[in-house]
Amino acid sequence: MRLKTKITLSENELVHAILTKDRNGAEALYDMYSSSLYGVIFRIVQHEEIAEDLLQDTFIRIWNSFSSYDASKGRLFTWMVNVARNIAIDKTRSKEFRNNSKTEDIENNVLTVDKQINSKINPEIIGLKDLIGKLKPEHKIILDLVYFEGFTHVEVAQKLEIPLGTVKTRLRNAIITLRKLFN
């Protein structure tokens, strides 16, 4: 079986390639970040087809409005994940989406499980999965609500009925745990 080699560039090279509208830049951009961004989008909309459409929209948005990315203000991925999250959240707030999601919840939960099984097979992240298990559940839920479901800190505090300060502390602790795990 022939594995199609994925293009990988350094972040600086990638930014330069996108700015110059290099076709290899588009491919590298997609290869390097599509699965990570898709993970975020999919967890927000919980619907495979919609999530894939939104992923495509996200990449096109990133490509077309790349001039608004300022490398001095942070990493490329941070900017991109915010673009993806905003597109996905906008979708979940649309009337059409809310009408559909009620009837398709069950089907999508099955898909979610499938997807998670698929992603477990991905050898690249198999070690990471184990690491995530080391996050405290009360930290992880807050991190997931904010990072994967687009909740603001205030919304998390309301949903979990805990003080805003606690949300901030737990989120910070969750990220500190991640830093220890990954760095």
Partner 1 sequence: MKNLKSYLESGILEQYVLGDLSVKEKLDVENNARQYPEVRKELEEIENALMSYARSNAIDPSKKIKTNFLNAVNNSDQVNISSSVNTGESYVRSLKFYKYAFAASLTLLFISSVLLFNLNNKLNESYVQLAILQSDNQKFTKQVNYKENELSDTKNALQFYQNPTAYKLVTLKGSAKAPEASLLVALNEEKEEVMIDLSSLRMPSNDQEHQYQLWAMVDGKPVDLGVFDAKDDSTGMKKMKFIKDAQSFAVTLEPKGGSLNPTMDKMMAIGTI
CA–CA separation, 36 and 152 (whole Å)? 21
CA–CA separation, 144 and 20 (whole Å)? 35
Tell me the residue length of the chain: 183
**Site membership for partner 1, residue 77 (CB under 8 A):** yes
Angstrom distances, CA of residue 22 to CA of 13, 19, 26, 43, 102? 11, 8, 7, 31, 42
**Site membership for partner 1, residue 71 (CB under 8 A):** no
Question: Smallest distance, Å, CB 140 to partner 1?
Answer: 10
Check: CB of residue 97 under 8 Å from CB of residue 44: no
Place of tokens 């961004």: 37
CB-based burial label for 60 (10 Å; 0-12, 13-18, 19+): exposed
Q: Binder to partner 1 among 2, 23, 95, 102 (CB under 8 A)?
A: 23
**Site membership for partner 1, residue 75 (CB under 8 A):** yes
**Site membership for partner 1, residue 141 (CB under 8 A):** no
**Site membership for partner 1, residue 15 (CB under 8 A):** no
Question: Smallest distance, Å, CB 16 to partner 1?
Answer: 16
The residues binding partner 1 (CB under 8 A) are 21, 23, 26-27, 30-31, 34-40, 42-43, 51-52, 55-56, 59-60, 63-64, 73-75, 77-78, 81-82, 85-86, 115-116, 118-119, 122, 124-125, 128-129, 131-132, 143, 146-148, 152-153, 168-169, 171-172, 175, 178-179, 181-183
